Structure 1
Amino acid sequence: MVDPAALRDCQAWKDAGLPLSTPSNEACKLFDATLTQYVKWTNDKTLGGIEGCLSKLKAADPSFAMGHAISTGLVLIGTGSSVRLDKELDLAVKNMVEISNRQPLTQRERLHVSAVEAFARGDFPGACELWEQILRDHPTDMLALKFSHDAYFYLGQQEQMRDSVARIYPFWTPDLPLSSYVKGLYSFGLMETNFYDQAEKLAKEALSVNPADAWSVHTVAHVHEMRAEVKDGLDFMQRSEAHWKGSDMLACHNYWHWALYLIEKGEYEAALTIYDDHILPSLQTSGTMLDVVDSCSMLYRLQMEGVSVGDRWQAVLPVTRKHSRDHVLLFNDAHFLMASLGARDAQTTQELLATLQDVSESPGENCQHLLARDVGLPLCRALVEAENGNPDRVVELLLPIRYRVVQIGGSNAQRDVFNQLLIHAALRCGAGAHRNLARSLLMERDALRPNSPLTARLMRKAASVHLLQ
């Protein structure tokens, strides 16, 4: 919960070296309230939540350029809307730019507006460079730090995500608002680049300051996942649940991590219980992209394990179907496709593939559309071939791009669904070379995650296939 008395007014922002171009103290405080909730991954009901704060912020000063930047930026960073299709969002971006052009803003504020505009065009690398320019001169600008962190994540640029925080980390002294959350941001980048011990240490430092820091909980969950420390992971999630379950924007994802441990153990019914009790309800309430991909990824993983998910895809499809033409993130597209395939909706599947092909042929400066031809489309076609029972074709499509899939974004744990797809396809192939591929991939997986029960099950399956042929 945010203390309203601690929210910063015009003078406080100026004293922090981050002046905001508005005469309204109320607008400044609401900007702070919105930013704080974004960083904490929660809608604080006492403040009216993020949407409530943004509504009051616009009323307090309709010409507040940074108010428009954070409002429009949050919609864009959520990746659930495209300026190509969402005319209201497109107008909001243009309005932000027009308002900023009419005012004598600081250079920092102008860079923020330009970065949000670049992100809207799909130029995520350009947006990151602008946010980095801000951070070089203003290392305690949390909005620039958080927006760039999320954008690097979408780009699959793990080292940049880590190093962006490393460069500003010494400036975040404990007296600064939200300083402990910077530890969480840094720990996640360290974890994604395999510095597991350092990542876990930093995340637990953040949790010692604030046990409700759901993002730092999330880092620790990832560390246990990547090390296949199933018991430790389950114990940690159970012990910490009371602290993070109220973080409405991230709780579903933390439950997803909990379910991954159960799938790893082969406790499928327990995993489905988490899906039914937490993940699906969150998806149906929020419709956010994170909840969408969690739902799709979990059901798809269970299906690969041979588990019947019943009619659960039918409940996911209404949410995913309306995004089939968005093509904001290839990572999202692949998960939308899982849903249309799982629900046997051939029309939506075809619409997604056809429109993705279209944007790949005229990508402009949109980084995702530029990547669609060589990575996004082969990945999506592999999912279709898997559904159609063509494992040899799945391998032919996935194997050449397996080291490029990182470019579609997401975390190592999230993209592991595609590694598993390749292994399962190789196990089902008719060609001897592909059977040997399955064995090689499993040896690689075992080296990265020793003592993984899931890997052990797949190895037994590989041995069985080999003995039978």
Structure 2
Amino acid sequence: MAHLDSRGLPISTRSDAAAALYRDGVALLLSAWPGAAETLDAAIAADPEFGLARAARARMHAIRGEGAAARAAIETAGALVARDGTARERGHVGVVALAVTGRSADALDAAYAHLDAWPRDVLVMALPLGAFGLLAFSGMSGHDQARVDLVERHAHHFADDDWWFLSSRGWAHAENGAVRRGRDLAQRGFELRRENANGAHALSHAMFEDGDGDGAEALIAGWLPGYDRSGILHGHIAWHAALSALERGDAQGALGIYAAHVRPSASLGLPLNVVTDAVSLLWRLKAYGHEVPAGLWEEARAYASGTFARAGFSFADAHMGILAAATGDEAAAAARIADLTALVEAGTLAAGPVVPAICRAALAFAAEDFAGCARLLEPVAAEVVRIGGSGAQREMIEDTLLVALMRGGEAAKARTLLDRRLHRRPSPRDARWHGLLASA
């Protein structure tokens, strides 16, 4: 009898144990839950010829930034499915190979083609989705809508109780502005599988976009203690709670969460999350007029010095430029801006001119040249979405523009920007700012 994956697709292994371990390992991978790597290793040990298990393991290596191991695993997977795999398995491994070896644009095209034939191939479906997926980091301005288009195109292939698809579909809709629908979907997915960090993450985002910071904090406070600190999203989900605390004016509460879960010395998350979460929370504190305790910026800079040194990854570049500005490292900021400008001129930076513009604006903001910061950010504000990530993460850039307009004497422009945002996402902080503007 042929073995099947969790969505009913045949998998080429003769081992009952390997098949069961693969299904469990994929579920752990899709839920960002500890134990995925070890479970997939056990599947490979049960059947060393199991190509799909090796491909999933390659994906785990890539998520962890273990490039050499990812390339070795996917090369072995490719050889195995070329010899004994089905057409679906060969296509699956081919898409994963493009993704883990850095050929992101090709991987996105290949994923779309593959999903037209095998829409329930969830590890391939997962690649374009999420805040750090192939669509988010494609540089396109319409990646939020593209995610919705993808999940809706294939929604009829998934069961009503597919926890992973519900969470992914909910996140896509909430990020694209259909917040209530997205929240309802994410809530259903989370209730079906609570041991699912991606589900908790999707629901936290939907609550943030719905203006329900209190609900997000309560959700995270009740759920996070059951998620081991080794989970790759532990620190990032705590960052959401810190962000909600800061939104309601509790800077000390936000700093307490930061110290316990988010700062580089506390987090075991992915380097991209550790750097960007630290930079964005500390920069928000600065922008909102709170004092950043001594040593926190320096800790973030020390951690980041070993990561993302090379320009070309737009989401990281924006945060590294802000970090350099916040710590007064004008030389590092100038060097990154020069490298980014060269990439823009060469046509090889997918997100385009908005990235060096953000870095220049951060330098102006740090120097308290608020009018100059606003002049740099206003023309590219609509293009910030191209750097990827989520709306909650990118809102830091909009906050910078808003504060620059307020402090630079442009109250009318600040009021217009704030009105648009309150219509999109109500926030207690924005309401307080409206009061300040009313008296300006």
The answer for the alignment partner of 1:375 in structure 2 is 354
How do residues 38-117 of structure 1 correspond to structure 2 at under 5 angstroms? 38-43=29-34, 49-56=35-42, 64-77=50-63, 80=65, 88=68, 92=72, 95=75, 99=79, 103-117=83-97
**1:456 aligns to 2:431 (yes or no):** yes
- Map 1:411-450 → 2, pairs under 5 A: 411-429=390-408, 434-450=410-426
Q: CA deviation at 1:158?
A: 1.3
In structure 2, the CA distance between the partners of 1:428 and 1:54, relative to structure 1 (3 Å rule), is same
TM-score, reference length from structure 2: 0.85
**Aligned AA (1:446):** L
- Aligned position for 1:172: 158
> Which residue matches 1:324?
308
Deviation of the 1:96 alpha carbon: 5.3
Cα–Cα, structure 1 residues 13 and 347, in superposed 2: closer, same or farther, change >3 Å?
farther
SS at 1:402 equivalent: helix
Return closer, same or farther for 1:27/1:453 CA change in 2, 3 Å cut-off.
Answer: same
SS of equivalent to 1:148:
coil
The code of the aligned residue for 2:328 comes to R
1:34-86, CA deviations, whole angstroms, 9 ceiling, x for partnerless residues?
Answer: 3222111111xxxxx334345555556666543443333344456x57xxxx6
Return the alpha-carbon distance in structure 2 between the equivalents of residues 221 and 34 of structure 1. 24
| Distance in 2, Cα, partners of 1:238 & 1:15 | 31
RMSD after superposition: 3.2
The letter of the residue matching 1:353 is I
Letter in 2 for 1:324: F
- State how 1:116-195 maps to structure 2 within 5 Å: 116-120=96-100, 122-149=102-129, 150-155=133-138, 157-173=143-159, 179-195=162-178
d(CA) in 2 for partners of 1:287, 1:124: 19
* Contact 2:377/2:401, CA 8 A, preserved across alignment: yes
The runs of at least 4 consecutive aligned structure 1 residues that moved more than 6 Å come to: none
CA contact (8 A) 2:311 2:317 kept: yes
For the pair 1:19 / 2:10, whether they are aligned, the reply is yes
2:297 to 272, 292, 313: 313
How far does residue 269 in structure 1 lie from its aligned partner after superposition? 0.4
Q: Paired residue for 1:386?
A: 365
Q: Tell me the secondary structure at the aligned position of residue 323 of structure 1.
A: coil
TM-score of the superposition, structure 1-length normalised?
A: 0.81
The match for 2:197 among 214, 222, 228 is 214
Partners of 2:6 and 2:286 in 1: CA distance: 55
Distance 1:345 1:447, change over 3 A: same
Structure 2 residue matching 1:223: 3-state secondary structure: helix
Contact 2:229–2:267 (Cα < 8 Å) also in 1: no
Letter in 2 for 1:224: M
- 1:271 positional shift: 0.7
C-alpha distance 351-113 of structure 1, shift in aligned 2 (>3 A): farther
Counterparts of 2:99 and 2:324, CA distance in 1? 28
1:285 maps onto 2:268 in alignment:
yes
Letter of the 1:445 counterpart: R
SS in 1 for 2:127: helix
Give the equivalent residue in structure 1 for 2:320.
Answer: 336
Structure-2 change in CA distance of 1:423 and 1:148 (3 Å): same
- Helix, strand or coil for the counterpart of 1:285? coil
Give the alignment of 1:243-282 within 5 angstroms: 243-244=226-227, 248-280=231-263
SS across alignment from 2:392 = helix
Deviation at 1:383, TM superposition (A): 1.6
1:337, CA displacement in angstroms?
2.7
SS in 2 for 1:286: coil
SS of the counterpart of 2:268? helix
Q: Which sits farther off after the overlay, 132-141 or 345-354?
A: 345-354
Q: Partners of 1:353 and 1:55 in 2: how far apart? A: 42
8 A contact 1:321–1:348 mirrored in 2:
no
Q: 1:197 aligns with which of 155, 169, 180?
A: 180
Cα distance in 2 for residues equivalent to 1:457 and 1:15? 49
Counterpart residue identity of residue 112, structure 1: H
Structure 1: runs of 5 or more not aligned: 1-9, 44-48
1:303 is displaced (CA, Å) by 0.9
Q: Deviations over 1:124-149 (max 9, x none)?
A: 34322322323222232121121221
Where 2:119 maps in the other structure, the secondary structure is coil
Q: Closer, same or farther in 2 for the Cα pair 1:93/1:463, shift >3 Å?
A: farther
- Cα shift readout 1:369-417 (whole Å, capped 9, x = no counterpart): 2323x22221222222222332222222211221111121111111110
Work out whether residues 357 and 377 of structure 1, in 8 Å CA contact, stay in contact via their aligned partners in 2: yes
Structure 2 regions of 5+ residues with no counterpart? none
**Count of matched residue positions in the alignment of Structure 1 and Structure 2:** 433
2:83 is paired with a residue whose SS is coil
